[in-house]
Amino acid sequence: MSASKKPPVGRRGFLKGAAGAAALVTTAATSATPAAAQEAQAPRNASAPVATQEKDPAGSVEVLTADRPGSDFMVDVIKALGFEIIFANPGSSFRGLHESVINYGGNKKPEFLTCCHEESSVAMAHGYAKIEGKPACVLAHGTVGLQHASMAIYNAYVDRAPVFMVIGNTLDAATRRPGVEWAHSVQDAASLVRDFTKFDDCPLSLQHFAESSVRAYKIAMTPPTMPVLLVADGDVQETPMGAEKPRIPKMTWAAPPQGDTGAVAETARLLVNAENPAIIADRCARTPAGLQHLIELADVLQCAVINQYGRMNFPSRHPLNQTERAGAVIRGADVILGLEMWDFWGTVNNFKDQLHRTSRPISKDGAKMIAISATDLNTRSNYQDFQRFPDLDISMAADSEATLPALIEACKKLITADRKRVFEERGKKLGEAAKDAHDKMLVDASYAWDASPISTARLAMELYGQIKGKDWSLVSNNPWPQRLWNFDKHYQYIGGAGGAGVGYGSPAAVGAAVANKKYGRLSVNIQNDGDLMYAPGVLWTEAHHKIPLLTVMHNNRAYHQEVMHLQRMANRHQRDITTAEVGTTLKNPNIDYGALARSMGVHGEGPITDPKDLGPAIARAMEIVAKGEPALVDVVTQPR
């Protein structure tokens, strides 16, 4: 079989030829006639017969270059939205956009950060958003990339974190390259994650891309903040744009939804008249203002605050912080105000994970329950992250942070001198209780202080001992720091994964560290071993992009939660209870995380098993981080 002498010209080549031919007969100022530009912008599913579309114009010279691909304009849009970072693993379905980001956009604002897995890309954007309060952009293949990314998108969705996804795909079958591009093409790319994204679109023109991008960004940032996704069609990326640039719409932020005036007034009345009101905050503080508002409300009422750590809601050492006494506070509360609580029902009920599932209320009979939650504005059916339905007396479908100022003012108006005296007395007692609880925590931390494997309390305090005088940010979710460290700034804590999908921790820490870098903050990550093993390539990203991040491994050599679950099953079935580590641990061989880090260009030490060696190792790692580079200390620890 002889090869055809006729050059293979598909629709893309034809369109370039048409535009190029037009350019030849026009001035240099307009590289394409309006007609040609219109054709270049024409939808791919135009009704012209296929034979006509693929016909090679006789006598034309194939145009092989383009000065102004559509992807350049996409970069204009991305820049206009203020993105600083693109987290991405490269993929041919967005090769045009990738090249435009680097060469047309100068690889600055946004800068392309090379990730080794799409799940890592999204989790990095998730961590970045937690610090920066706005989304980063993520590029991925519309098929295999999005499949990799899906769990991380789910985490961000459950965690109410904004992420801006742009995925590549080629909708027009006639322009796809044979082979892999077909395997990487999909009719409805976003359908894979539509259950857990807030908005998606598949623009088929640059104007459409511009409008949908601004719309998507606005939707992502309107509470409840969530991931959004746009499909960047391959042809729209690679086809030259016309003479006139499409218009980028003006961004006007939506004011966040506030609670109904009457509901706010009634809530204030209940709180002011209550003897033992309690505020429970989960994903409340979206911004630094949220932290300040909650402090003000607590101070006005002199009431107990329980932090469920979805965000940095409340200072850890504030005298009204009663998190360590959560059970006692809930049992004694006559009014409970829940702010962006993920699980209100599970907070005020006790549920037993035994053979026969039983539950009972732990809150006081007759206690008034009030919820303010933006999640009520965007509840989906399929994925059941919305939890059991709570019995509420007042429910506001609103953003807590936006509602707090009105609630504070409403409370202030109702407080009489008598109530103020009662509040002051209550606050004094709560302060004493908080101090007692803190003293007890210190005693708890002292147990197993010199143990090997090293206790997690010792790990936390060895670390804190060295960072406390610096401008630090804990970019991971660990219980001992929350109990023992002094958190009082919004960026000092980023909350958890949201959907509890393992593999979030290490990339989210990197994303948060990227955001912290420009402020000169010291990012510290207490890293679970099982989580890091999902995508250890994040270490390479840290090294390659010189991201200052101090990682201290909480290496219990197990997926420990699963060890406990397997133990429970064996106990319940009264069978061999010595087998819980089968399939749940990371031993034999033990993983050398220090060596793993070094293999990717990150300073790595360990494994450290003697607690006396830990402090000096952290000090050495901090010297590396101070130079603007990442470092990892592997610590073999107690299970929890």
Partner 1 sequence: MTRLILLRTILGTILGAACLFAQNAAPAGNAQNGRKLFENYGCYQCHGREAQGGIGTGPRLGPKPLPYAAIQKYIRQPTGQMPPYTAKVVNDKDLADIYAFLQSVATPPPVKNIPLLNN
- CA pair distance 244, 545, nearest whole angstrom: 37
DSSP state of 414: H
- In angstroms, give the least distance from the CB of 467 to partner 1: 11
Backbone angles phi, psi at 166, to 5 degrees: -125, 120
- In angstroms, give the least distance from the CB of 639 to partner 1: 6
Does residue 55 come out as left (phi exceeding 0), alpha (psi in the -120 to 50 range) or beta?
A: beta
Does the footprint of partner 1 cover residue 327 (CB under 8 A)? Answer: no
Burial class, 508, CB count within 10 angstroms (exposed 0-12 / middle 13-18 / buried 19+): buried
Residues 69 and 32: beta-carbon distance below 8 Å: no
- In angstroms, give the least distance from the CB of 483 to partner 1: 7
| Residue 616 preceded by cis peptide, ω within 30 | no
Residues 161 and 507: beta-carbon distance below 8 Å: no
How many residues are recorded in the chain?
640
Does the footprint of partner 1 cover residue 348 (CB under 8 A)? Answer: no
- In angstroms, give the least distance from the CB of 319 to partner 1: 18
- In angstroms, give the least distance from the CB of 559 to partner 1: 12
Judged by CB under 8 A, the chain residues 181 through 240 that form the site for partner 1 are: none
Residues 557 and 586: beta-carbon distance below 8 Å: yes
Does residue 495 come out as left (phi exceeding 0), alpha (psi in the -120 to 50 range) or beta?
A: left
Half-sphere exposure of 104 (CA within 13 A, CB side): 20
- CA pair distance 165, 169, nearest whole angstrom: 13
- Dihedral angle over CA of 212, 216, 219, 221, nearest 10: -140
Does the footprint of partner 1 cover residue 325 (CB under 8 A)? Answer: no
Strand order in the sheet with 631-635: 472-474, 522-528, 550-554, 631-635, 603-608
Does the footprint of partner 1 cover residue 580 (CB under 8 A)? Answer: yes
Q: Which is nearer to partner 1, 627 or 640 (CB)?
A: 640
Q: Which is nearer to partner 1, 183 or 442 (CB)?
A: 442
Q: Would you give the binding string for partner 1 spanning residues 385-424, x where CB under 8 A is met?
A: ----------------------------------------
- In angstroms, give the least distance from the CB of 468 to partner 1: 6
Does the footprint of partner 1 cover residue 428 (CB under 8 A)? Answer: no
DSSP string of 366-397, one letter each residue: T-EEEEE-GGGGS--SSS-TT-SPP--SEEE-
Does the footprint of partner 1 cover residue 447 (CB under 8 A)? Answer: yes
* Binder of partner 1 out of 161, 306, 563, 596 (CB under 8 A): 563
Does the footprint of partner 1 cover residue 600 (CB under 8 A)? Answer: no
Q: Would you give the binding string for partner 1 spanning residues 123-162, x where CB under 8 A is met?
A: ----------------------------------------
Q: Would you give the binding string for partner 1 spanning residues 514-553, x where CB under 8 A is met?
A: ----------------------------------------
* Binder of partner 1 out of 208, 564, 586, 590 (CB under 8 A): 564
Does the footprint of partner 1 cover residue 554 (CB under 8 A)? Answer: no
Does the footprint of partner 1 cover residue 571 (CB under 8 A)? Answer: yes
Does the footprint of partner 1 cover residue 453 (CB under 8 A)? Answer: yes
Does the footprint of partner 1 cover residue 487 (CB under 8 A)? Answer: no
* Binder of partner 1 out of 464, 502, 540, 543 (CB under 8 A): 464
- CA pair distance 80, 141, nearest whole angstrom: 23
Q: Which is nearer to partner 1, 44 or 458 (CB)?
A: 458
Residues 340 and 285: beta-carbon distance below 8 Å: no
Does the footprint of partner 1 cover residue 446 (CB under 8 A)? Answer: yes
Does the footprint of partner 1 cover residue 619 (CB under 8 A)? Answer: no
Q: How many residues bind partner 1 (CB under 8 A)?
A: 43
Q: State the SS3 of 432-478.
A: HHHHHHHHHHHHHHHCCCCCCCECHHHHHHHHHHHHCCCCEEECCCC
Does the footprint of partner 1 cover residue 80 (CB under 8 A)? Answer: no
Q: Give which of 190, 86, 97 is closest to 128, Cα–Cα.
A: 86
- Return the range that interacts with partner 1 (CB under 8 A); candidates 113-121, 146-154, 221-229, 573-581: 573-581
Q: Give which of 45, 275, 4 is closest to 172, Cα–Cα.
A: 45
- In angstroms, give the least distance from the CB of 563 to partner 1: 5
* Binder of partner 1 out of 260, 444, 488, 592 (CB under 8 A): 444
- CA pair distance 466, 552, nearest whole angstrom: 13
Q: Which is nearer to partner 1, 420 or 572 (CB)?
A: 572
- Return the range that interacts with partner 1 (CB under 8 A); candidates 115-123, 368-376, 518-526, 567-575: 567-575
- CA pair distance 80, 104, nearest whole angstrom: 14
Q: What angle do CA 325, 327, 330 make, to 5 degrees?
A: 105
- CA pair distance 516, 47, nearest whole angstrom: 51
- What single-letter amino acid sits at 405? P
Quote the tokens at residue 613: 């060696």
Does the footprint of partner 1 cover residue 490 (CB under 8 A)? Answer: no
Quote the tokens at residue 336: 């409970």
* Binder of partner 1 out of 34, 82, 327, 479 (CB under 8 A): 479
Does the footprint of partner 1 cover residue 358 (CB under 8 A)? Answer: no
* Binder of partner 1 out of 207, 387, 567, 609 (CB under 8 A): 567
Residues 338 and 259: beta-carbon distance below 8 Å: no
* Binder of partner 1 out of 34, 465, 520, 628 (CB under 8 A): 465
Q: Which is nearer to partner 1, 428 or 575 (CB)?
A: 575
* Binder of partner 1 out of 38, 449, 582, 623 (CB under 8 A): 449
Q: Which spans of this chain sit near partner 1 (rule: CB under 8 A)?
A: 352-354, 439, 442-451, 453, 455, 458, 461-462, 464-465, 468, 479-480, 483-484, 560, 563-564, 567-568, 570-572, 574-578, 580, 638-640
